[in-house]
Amino acid sequence: MLLFKIPGISIIGDKILTKRIIPCLDIKEGRVVKGTKFVHLKDAGDPVELSKVYDEEGADELVFLDITASYEKRRILIDLVEKTAEQVFIPLTVGGGVRTVEDFRRLLRAGADKVSVNTAAVKTPELIKEASEIFGSQCVVVAIDAKRRYVEGEEVDAARERGRNVVKVDSRYCWFEVYIYGGRKGTGIDAIEWGRKVWELGAGEILLTSIDADGTKKGYDIQLTRLMSENVGIPVIASGGCGTLEHIYEVFEYGKADAALMASILHYREYSIREIKEYLLNRGIPVRL
C-alpha cells in the first residue's frame, strides 16, 4: 500500500495517519546524552530505562542513535540494542555507524524495526536502494543533518543556478547544506535535493535534523521542515529545537511534518508524552492517545 502526502495530512489508502511523537535517545559510550548543535554533550540517563519509561507513557516510536559511531568508526553496540528491544513494544529505529547491508541485517536481527543511515548513505547512495530492496523501504530511514548556508547579493542567484533551494528567512536568504559525521563535516549537497534523491532510491522515511536548532529549545526549523515535506512523498520526521508544546504544534501545523522527534523536554521531565498529546489534540492535531 502506497503512502500519499497532501499538505498537512499523510494517507495510506483511505486512512488518515496520526502525527507521531518520538523520543530520541542520543547515545555516547552507552549513555543517553544531550547537547547543543551537536556539541557540549551532557549525560541524560540510561537508554534502556528511559526507553521503558517512554514506551509506558505512550510514545509512538523510539529513535536510538549512537551519535559518534560514524565519526569514531566504532562497531555498532548490538548488545545495547538487544537490551533496549527486549524492553519496548513500539517501533524502534536504530542508527549510528551503519555502513553496509550487513549492518542493517545485524540491527534488525537484534530487535530494531527500522535502521537509520546518514554518513554512509551520502558516501554510497546505492546502499539505500540495496537495503530497501532486501529489507523493504519501511525499514530504511535516511537521516539528514542540515545547516543553513546564508547567501546575499549576487550569491543568491549563483546558488540557485547551482541547484540550491534558496529560501528567504527573516529578510535573509539561505539554502540548507547536508552535513555528515555527526554534524562535523559539510558536503556541499543541498538537503532538499538529497531528500528527493533518497526518496527515489527507496528510503521509507527521512529523519530531518536542523543543526542550527538542535538543543537550543527555540523551536524546530519550520522553513527547512516544510520545504522538505513539500518536496518528498515519504514521511518527514522533524528534529532539533523542541522546547515547548507550541513548538511541536508549529512543526505539525506549519512545518507539515509527519512526526516530531524530541529529547531534552522528555529526558529532563519538563513534559510528559501524555501532556504533549493532549495539548495537540486540543489544538486540532490528530495523535494517538
**Active-site entry in 26, 103, 113, 258:** 26
- DSSP H/E element including 249: helix 245-253
Which among 173, 1, 22 is positioned nearest to 10, based on CA atoms? 1
Q: How far apart are CA 183 and CA 125, in angstroms?
A: 18
* Total Cβ atoms within 10 A of residue 161: 8
Please indicate whether residue 60 is annotated as part of the active site.
Answer: no
Which among 122, 118, 121, 183 is positioned nearest to 147, based on CA atoms? 183
Please indicate whether residue 46 is annotated as part of the active site.
Answer: no
Q: How far apart are CA 79 and CA 277, in angstroms?
A: 32
Alpha-carbon torsion (99, 100, 105, 106), positive or negative? negative
**Active-site entry in 55, 103, 145, 190:** 145
Q: How far apart are CA 139 and CA 286, in angstroms?
A: 24
The phi, psi pair for 189, rounded to 5°, reads -90, 135
User: Which residues form the catalytic set?
Assistant: 26, 145
